[in-house]
Structures are given as structure tokens and as C-alpha cells.
């Protein structure tokens, strides 16, 4: 049995989110939340919020033991990119890309 939670249009680059998620895959949820609490990155609080949402979703299902949940997968897909311009020398403008992410957390019960 698996549960999932999705955060969409998060204003952080998917590349920066992917740096965090490798440390969480396959770990128990409680361990993952403790690790995220002490990570200094901006994306850590966003992933923590999404993971807590997935745990709350699992709590709604009476067949799932919340204490035995394990992080099956965390996916950080790119969302739409906001395109902005910054003034540069000699009257030019250069493009600035403000990237967004769609973060998906998939939790499942430990088979052991």
C-alpha cells in the first residue's frame, strides 16, 4: 500500500531539490523528517512539508500503519519556468530563468 503527496509550482529549482532527496530514499519517515529538520537548504522545509502531508494522507487510511512508513521515492520534476529580463550594459537585456518544481513524495509500508 502506497500513499503520495504532491507539491506543485514550488519556487525552487528541481536541481536543488534533487540534491536533498538522495539522502532520504529508502529511509523510515521519522529518520527522513529528522534529517530534513537540520538541512540548511530552502528546499528542505518544502520537502518536509510535503512529506508530512503524505504521512497525514496515510493516517486517513485505517489499513496503513503510520509508524512503519518508509520513503519509497521522492521525485523533483521541473515545472514551468518564469522568464524575466535584467538590464545589462549598452542597452541590452539578458534573460533570467526562475525555475519551479513539482515535488512528489511516495511513502509505503515497510515489508519487514
CATH number (domain holding residue 45): 3.90.470.10
Q: Kindly give the pairing relationship between strand 82-87 and strand 93-98.
A: antiparallel
DSSP state of 28: B
Q: Domain residues for 13? A: 2-109
Residue 111: φ, ψ to 5°: -75, -20
The stretch 46-57 carries a mean pLDDT of 95
DSSP state of 62: T
63-96, pLDDT tens digit by residue?
A: 888 888 999 999 999 999 999 999 999 999 999 9
The total of structural domains in the chain comes to 1
Collapsed DSSP state (helix, strand, coil) of residue 80:
coil
Nearest one of 62, 77, 55, 68 to 3, comparing CA atoms: 55
What is the pTM assigned to this prediction? Answer: 0.88
Q: Average model confidence (pLDDT) for the chain?
A: 93
Amino acid at each position: 500500500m502506497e500513499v503520495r503527496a504532491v507539491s506543485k509550482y514550488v519556487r525552487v529549482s528541481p536541481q536543488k531539490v534533487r540534491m536533498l532527496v538522495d539522502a532520504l530514499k529508502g529511509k523510515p519517515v521519522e529518520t527522513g523528517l529528522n534529517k530534513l529538520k537540520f538541512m540548511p537548504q530552502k528546499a528542505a522545509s518544502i520537502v518536509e512539508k510535503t512529506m508530512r502531508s503524505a504521512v497525514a494522507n496515510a493516517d486517513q487510511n485505517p489499513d496503513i500503519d503510520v509508524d512503519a512508513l518508509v520513503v519509497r521515492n521522492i521525485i523533483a520534476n521541473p515545472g514551468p519556468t518564469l522568464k524575466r529580463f535584467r538590464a545589462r550594459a549598452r542597452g541590452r537585456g539578458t534573460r533570467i530563468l526562475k525555475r519551479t518544481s513539482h515535488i512528489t513524495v511516495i511513502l509505503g509500508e515497510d515489508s519487514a
